[in-house]
């Protein structure tokens, strides 16, 4: 059956073509703010960047499932996944909330629980076009108390500012953060 590659959008027979698979690079492990262990499935470049873009801005759900499949082996056993929700106006504009969708797929693949503990603000400045030094993380509010052994889930980590602010809010209950991609340093 012919389909479009989820990354480059070329016609082929596989969800992601061999050319794009060859361009995927394993994501880095790093510490955010010197404290929070963060693991990404892929480096945010080339085909992985296109996968995230197609999922996040074009609403291609299959790209999100593909990313979650790559993230699933990184999910610690017995954890609760906490997705970082998208700012409301972006959810309305693009029709997809990447982190909760990734968390839902990860739950289906691994059996991990999902706890939607955070509420995003209605508005927040667009981070994608700002320099690293000008980025301001959205100010989430906590919906309910945080159970232990939490894994933060997001689509992309760039500076780590958003993950760091949520980690400060949830404290020692957070054991790590997991993202689909991480930008090169």
pTM comes to 0.89
pLDDT at 137: 67
pLDDT at 16: 97
CA distances from 116 to 14, 61, 86 (A): 33, 20, 12
Helix (H) or strand (E) holding 29: strand 29-32
Confidence band, pLDDT 50/70/90 cuts, at residue 88: confident
End-to-end CA distance of the chain: 39
Give per-residue pLDDT as tens, 8-29: 999 999 999 999 999 999 999 9
pLDDT at 26: 96
Give per-residue pLDDT as tens, 45-81: 999 999 999 999 999 999 999 999 999 999 999 999 9
Helix (H) or strand (E) holding 169: helix 161-170
CATH code reported for the domain at 25-182: 3.40.50
Question: Pick from 140, 154, 3, 126: which is nearest to 64 by CA?
Answer: 154
């Amino acid at each position: 059956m012919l389909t479009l590659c989820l990354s480059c959008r070329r016609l082929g027979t596989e969800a992601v073509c061999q050319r794009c698979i060859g361009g995927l690079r394993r994501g880095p492990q790093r510490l955010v703010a010197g404290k929070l262990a963060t693991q990404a499935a892929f480096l945010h470049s080339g085909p992985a960047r296109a996968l995230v873009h197609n999922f996040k801005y074009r609403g291609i759900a299959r790209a999100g499932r593909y990313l979650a499949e790559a993230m699933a082996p990184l999910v610690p056993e017995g954890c609760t996944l906490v997705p970082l929700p998208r700012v409301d106006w972006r959810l309305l504009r693009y029709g997809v909330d990447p982190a909760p969708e990734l968390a839902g797929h990860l739950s289906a693949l691994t059996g991990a629980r999902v706890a939607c503990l955070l509420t995003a603000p209605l508005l927040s400045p667009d981070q994608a076009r700002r320099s690293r030094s000008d980025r301001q993380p959205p100010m989430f509010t906590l919906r309910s108390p945080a159970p232990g052994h939490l894994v933060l889930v997001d689509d992309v980590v760039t500076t780590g500012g958003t993950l760091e602010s949520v980690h400060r809010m949830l404290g020692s209950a957070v054991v790590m953060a997991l993202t689909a991609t991480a930008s090169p340093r």
